[in-house]
Structure 1
Amino acid sequence: MSDSVIADDWQRAPTKLSAYLSARLHGDASSICLKPISGGRSYVTYWLRIGDQLHVLRQAPPASDLPTAHDIEREYELLRALDETTPVNVAKPLLLCTDRAVFGSPFMVMSKVDGFTLSSESDGAMLSIEERSDASRCFVDQLAALHSVAKPTPSRSKLPFLHRQVDRWLSQWQHAQALHPPELNRRFLSLAAAIRGSAQLRERPTLVHGDYRFDNVILRRVAGSIEVAAVIDWEMATYGDPLVDLGYTLASWTEVGDAPDRSDLPVGRRVSAHPGFMTRADLQQYYAESRGVSLPDMTVYEAFGFLKLAAIFAGINRLGFRQSQHVDRQLTRHVDRLITNGHRLIQMNALN
């Protein structure tokens, strides 16, 4: 066993990091330890132990050629604002460091939030039917609360937010398109064009999370029911059309009876494919009631959710290729299925 290993994968923090944290969070430098948290594909996340206190440290990747993907300073400031002035539940931000000399790349420290996440089919199966209903309701209530946070200044763009989002993820796709067969590129581009052509200019932009699904919500049991303790992973948050956020959530949401090409995807993981969880139709109805709004047909927004997911997983595949010179064929198949689901929704929209 290395001297740097304490126990159960805990490791002593590097000297510079220990000194930095000790001076700001008032702990003994020799007691500061880190333990990686699995599950993230972009930020690097650790448990941070300082004496008998446990926090979370989120670190931007050491290098990225996607300049808007890992802006941890922006995320930190957003969390501070949400924690202080809104009904959105978040982990309390404690510290931001932008000096790369301390730990190799910028990072922030947040309070630890007690609770659990739903990240797999078995996680959803462990809840009772009543708990699944509770989890669905509080999940949607928190999304509605998030969308109650208005943009502080009026938008100056003359393009619909959905249009701009398609362009953004089209740009991300183009970084990875050389790894994919020409037919897959053609189908992605045609899906992007169809969604962009359907974009509408909506008023009153709100806060949007950008990756709102059960994986990114910490739940807890309180007085016999389930509530949201914190929404996490805000790296893609911005201000825009809240229905774009809702469409992404719908694309990530599985339900009982979904065919394998819809349910067997690298997102959602059949968490909600159990009796008691809302269906996608129930989710839309409850969201509209919670916000007090009428929803338009959501098929184009949901199709965009699949487009965005395809671009995200293509980027993950590209990152893996840069590291190993190997294309993950299973990820490529998932990207293909995501695009297929998006096209199916566009065809449904054309028939309505």
Structure 2
Amino acid sequence: MTTVNELIDLTALADWMDNQDLGQGPLINPRLLTGGTQNILMQFEREKQSFVLRRPPINMRSNSNKTMCREAQVLSALSGSTVPHPGFIAVCEETDVLGASFYLMEPVIGFNVINGLPKLHQLNPDIQFRMGLSHIEALAKLGNIDYKAVGLETYGKPDGFLKRQAPRWLSQLESYSEYEGWPKLNDAEGISIIADWLNTNCPTSFEPGIIHGDAHIGNVMFENNSGEVAALIDWELATIGDPLIDLGWIIATWPEPNGTETLALGGPKLNGLPNIDELLEHYGKHSTRNLDCISWYGILGCFKLAIILEGTYARSCAGKASKEVGQGLHDSAIRLLKRAKELIALNID
């Protein structure tokens, strides 16, 4: 098992914190946290204050440091807002301290459904129902933020954002052809049909705002004693665009009433959650955004997430990722494309 000392230079971190006036003395009880499979999370205490450090994995991608700094930027911008999020403390953009950019945030007190439910939540369907509504309220609050007023005017490129989506992700799918052994998704899975429908039916206008980018229920911490959201977590895909993208992500990933899941996150079954129609109705009560074209966002969510998951499957076919993980994600991708085609069928006049 990898230890904290193998991943984090604690002496270098303490020296950096000294220079940032973030307490004095040793870092107490440093421990790695579960959750966040793509990044390293470490919690520790210093002078009776608790900190959580987040940094890229040891085997970083080319944009890992930039992504880490963008996460810190959006969390800093949300400070003082009603959006439930981890409290931002400080960021180190330089890589000479720990070998990568990193930031410090306040710990979130709560639980993630992937890791199990407290007894209170297991036994109370009303609390589970509230969990779903609270999740939607958090996304509505995020979409209501004036991104320019909080300093994120240059954080994304909202012009033409929706029109870029289908071509951008179709191009991503095509790029997987470099992986030997990958059986390319084709029209049997409806790729061209979905892409064409998205292009033809793309909404003509939207009000730009902050997007979380990966808003499924696995990226939420809930309070231990209620159904309220403690924090939206894992902000690495955040940008400026159409916040209804996040609602479309919910449509793509939310379990069916019979328990069928497009995205197999693991963890316990939540039988008391609201259904998708109830979630959409609730979003409409907390946002002034026009939901007339919301099916488009759901179909895009299915299309985009399927292509993202298929990337791991393509790498697994070439021996660059776990065969078992790759197959599981491919199965999820097929389920997502199936849901997209079903949504299209419901929206054909």
TM-score tier, shorter chain, comes to 0.7 to 0.9
* Aligned match of 2:166: 166
Q: 2:144 aligns with which of 148, 162, 167?
A: 148
Query: How does the TM-score come out when normalised to structure 1?
Result: 0.81
* Aligned match of 1:103: 98
How far has the Cα of 1:285 moved from its partner? Answer: 0.7
Structure 1 stretches lacking a partner, 5+ long: none
* Aligned match of 2:328: 330
Is the deviation greater in 75-84 or in 107-116? 75-84
How far has the Cα of 1:5 moved from its partner? Answer: 7.2
Q: 1:266 aligns with which of 264, 287, 297?
A: 264
Q: 2:61 aligns with which of 60, 64, 70?
A: 64
2:218 corresponds to 1:215: yes
2:210 corresponds to 1:199: no
How far has the Cα of 1:293 moved from its partner? Answer: 4.7
Query: How does the TM-score come out when normalised to structure 2?
Result: 0.82
The answer to whether the 8 Å contact 1:72/1:106 transfers is: yes
Return the alpha-carbon distance in structure 2 between the equivalents of residues 78 and 175 of structure 1.
29
The answer to whether the 8 Å contact 1:73/1:96 transfers is: yes
2:239 corresponds to 1:244: no
* Aligned match of 1:255: 256
2:84 corresponds to 1:83: no
- Per-residue CA distance 1:44-65 (angstroms, 9 max, x = gap): 3222344654321111245324
* Aligned match of 2:278: 282
- Per-residue CA distance 1:24-56 (angstroms, 9 max, x = gap): 322324x35543333323333222344654321
How far has the Cα of 1:252 moved from its partner? Answer: 1.3
Q: Cα gap change, 1:196/1:45 in structure 2, threshold over 3 Å: closer, same or farther?
A: farther
Structure 2 stretches lacking a partner, 5+ long: none
Paired-residue identity, %? 26
Return the alpha-carbon distance in structure 2 between the equivalents of residues 100 and 321 of structure 1.
33
What is the aligned-residue RMSD (CA, Å)?
3.4
How far has the Cα of 1:267 moved from its partner? Answer: 4.2
How far has the Cα of 1:316 moved from its partner? Answer: 3.5
Return the alpha-carbon distance in structure 1 between the equivalents of residues 194 and 268 of structure 2.
25
Return the alpha-carbon distance in structure 1 between the equivalents of residues 91 and 30 of structure 2.
17
- Per-residue CA distance 1:296-321 (angstroms, 9 max, x = gap): 14222111111121122223445667
How far has the Cα of 1:123 moved from its partner? Answer: 7.1
Count of residues in Structure 1 that have an aligned counterpart in Structure 2:
336
Q: Cα gap change, 1:34/1:197 in structure 2, threshold over 3 Å: closer, same or farther?
A: farther
Return the alpha-carbon distance in structure 2 between the equivalents of residues 68 and 170 of structure 1.
23
Q: Cα gap change, 1:346/1:219 in structure 2, threshold over 3 Å: closer, same or farther?
A: same
* Aligned match of 1:28: 25
The answer to whether the 8 Å contact 1:33/1:50 transfers is: no
Q: 1:181 aligns with which of 180, 183, 191?
A: 183
Return the alpha-carbon distance in structure 1 between the equivalents of residues 250 and 204 of structure 2.
20
Q: Which amino acid aligns with 1:165?
A: Q
- Per-residue CA distance 1:192-241 (angstroms, 9 max, x = gap): 3321222112232121111112222222156xx43222221111111222
